[in-house]
Amino acid sequence: MKIRVGTFNLMNFIAPEKDFYNETPYTQEEFDKKTHWSLIQLEKMSCDFIGFQEIFDEEAFIKFVKSYKPMENATIMAPDANGKGPVVGFATTLKLLSKPEVISNFPLDSILSFNNQDIPINKFTRAVLKVNIELPNGLPCTIIISHLKSKRPMIQHGKSGGAFQYSLGKAKALLVRASESLALRSIIIDELKNSNKPLILIGDLNDSGDSVTSEIISGTEPWPDLPKEQKKKIWDTLLYNTYDIQLQNTTRDVFFSHIHNHKYETLDHIMVSQEFYIHNPNRVGKIEYLHFYNDHLIDSMLITPENPRIYSDHGQLVAQIKLKENRILS
C-alpha cells in the first residue's frame, strides 16, 4: 500500500488577460501552453496529494487540475485565490476528514521580540493551509502546505537599488522568512506534541534544507548522550526532510529544484514526522523514494529560455510512502 505526495510551484498561475504583479497578462496561447506543460508534469508526478504554490485564480486552477483525468473527481481548493496575490492550494483523491484551515496570523507565542518590543511581523506573506486527510490504511494524517518569503530583497519603493539598499533588502527578507519559519514551527509543534498522528509538511520554503530557517521549521535532532525519555520528547515534534532520507540511500547528490544566478538549490521540500521515519520502530509507514522532476530547469545566466513564462521556475518533488496496513494509533 503506497501513496505519492508532491509539491508543485506553478509560477504565477492565473487565467489569460488578467493582471498579476507588474507583468504583461498571459495571452490565451501562452496560457494554453502553460497548462499543457503543467498537465504533463502532473502525469509524471502521478500523486494522491499535491500541494501547490503561486495560485492567483482558483477557478482557473480547479479547471486545470480537473483536466488531468485521474483527478477529475478530486477535492481541489485554493482558498482566497482571488487575483490579488499568490496563495497555496491542493488537490487530492484522498478523503478529507475536516474543512481545510487557512492560517494567516502567527500563533501568539511565535511573535519575535527584543527588549520587550515585538518585531512588527505577525502574519504569513502567504497564508498556510492545513488539511486533514485519511490515508488508504484508514489512519488520519495532517498535511501542511506553505510558501515562505523568498530571498528577493525587500527594497522600499522609491529607494535606489544601491549596494547597501540591496543588502538591507536581503536582511529584511531573511527576517520575514525567519519569523514565518518560527510561526510555522509553532503550528507543527502544536499538531505533533503528545500525538501519534502523522504529519507531512509540503512547500516552497525558499531556502535549502540545511539552512537555519529550515532547521527552525524541522527542529534539531537530540544530542546522543541525552537520556532516552528526553530524546523521545524531541523526536515527538521533529520533522525529517525527505531530501536527507534520500541522501542516506544514495551515493550521489544531484538534486535541485531551482536555479538562480548559477546557484542550483533545493528550495522546495517535503518533510515528515517520525511516524514515517524508517528508524522509528512504531512507524506507520516509511519514505521509499523522493523523485525530482527538474529537467525543464535552465541556467538562464548561460542561455535564454525560449519562453520562461510557460514553465515553472521550480522543479516538482514527489515523495513515495509505503504504508503499513491496518495500523492503529494508540
Task: Give me the residue spans of the domains in the chain.
Answer: 2-323
Taking the C-alpha atoms of residue 82 and residue 135, their distance in angstroms, rounded to an integer, is: 31
Q: What pLDDT does 161 receive?
A: 65
Q: Give the architecture-level CATH label for domain 2-323.
A: 4-Layer Sandwich (3.60)
3-state secondary structure of 21: coil
Do 65 and 94 touch, CB atoms closer than 8 A? Answer: no
Secondary structure (DSSP) of 27-93:
PHHHHHHHHHHHHHHHHHH--SEEEEEEEEEHHHHHHHHHTSGGGTTSEEE-TT-EEEEEEEEEEES
Do 147 and 126 touch, CB atoms closer than 8 A? Answer: yes
Q: What pLDDT does 210 receive?
A: 86
Q: What pLDDT does 166 receive?
A: 87
Helices 58-66 and 28-45: crossing angle in degrees, nearest 10, is 50
Q: What pLDDT does 177 receive?
A: 96
Q: What pLDDT does 305 receive?
A: 67
Give the predicted TM-score (pTM) of the model: 0.92
Give which of 90, 87, 114, 110 is closest to 100, Cα–Cα.
Answer: 90
Tens-level pLDDT at each residue, the chain (330 residues) = 899 999 999 999 999 999 888 888 999 999 999 999 999 999 999 999 999 999 999 999 999 999 999 999 999 999 999 888 999 999 999 999 999 999 999 999 999 888 888 889 999 999 999 999 999 999 999 999 999 999 889 987 666 668 888 899 999 999 999 999 999 999 999 999 988 999 999 999 989 888 999 999 999 998 888 998 889 889 999 999 998 888 777 655 556 776 665 667 778 999 999 999 989 999 999 999 999 888 877 766 666 767 788 888 888 999 999 998 865 544
Q: What pLDDT does 11 receive?
A: 94
